[in-house]
Amino acid sequence: MPSKCAKLKDNKMDKRFAVRRVRQRDLDRILEIEAASFGADAYDRNLFAEYTRKCGGLFLVAERGTKVCAYSIAAISPGRTGNRAELVSLAVDPAFLGKGAASALMDSTLRRLRRRGIARIGLMVKVTNQRARAFYEKYGFRKLRRVARYYEDGADGLSLAKDL
């Protein structure tokens, strides 16, 4: 019978995710996560293929073992006051919600942006998405403004930003 220490160690290991750049062969799995997360609002394969080409080192996946559990996409755009980034999308397989995949992705994304000298990251989130809003708040994102009818379904969005 395993000791309590062994059990604690195993539980801690369960929360670990490896983060890496997306690969073309990840797209089928990413589309599954996208559909489960966003339903009718899901991005299509062509858009993900374009992000794979354009966002390279900022289109990331979190995996446990060899299973992709979540993804995030950030894009850099030059601005008048310095380069800025946008978190385009972040989604977690519903079976892995609350297990640390989103945090692993956010930590890696913020690290990568800081290394590139990015001054600020912004994002849009549905006003009604309390789970996502709480997650971003935990990372220090602050509300800039509410954008009426931002989403295709007519829902309002919140523009959030974080200085790096």
Reduced to 3 states, what is the DSSP secondary structure of residue 146?
A: strand
Does some domain include residue 1?
Answer: no
Q: State pLDDT tens for residues 115-140.
A: 999 989 999 999 999 999 999 999 99
Pairing type for strands 120-126 and 84-92 reads parallel
Q: If DSSP codes are grouped into helix, strand and coil, which group holds residue 108?
A: helix
Any domain includes 4:
no
* CATH number (domain holding residue 146): 3.40.630.30
In a domain, 115, yes or no: yes
Residue 117 domain-assigned (yes or no): yes
9 within some domain: no
pLDDT in tens, 70-79: 999 999 987 6
Q: How far is CA 127 from CA 91, 103, 146, 162, in A?
A: 17, 21, 8, 18
Query: pTM for the complete prediction?
Result: 0.86
- Within a domain: 8: no
Closest CA to 68 of 41, 111, 44, 101: 101
**Residue 5 placed within a domain:** no
Residue 46 falls within a domain, yes or no? yes
Number of domains in the chain: 1
Q: pLDDT of 82-123, one tens digit each?
A: 689 999 999 999 999 999 999 999 999 999 999 999 989 999
Give the domain range for residue 32. Answer: 16-163
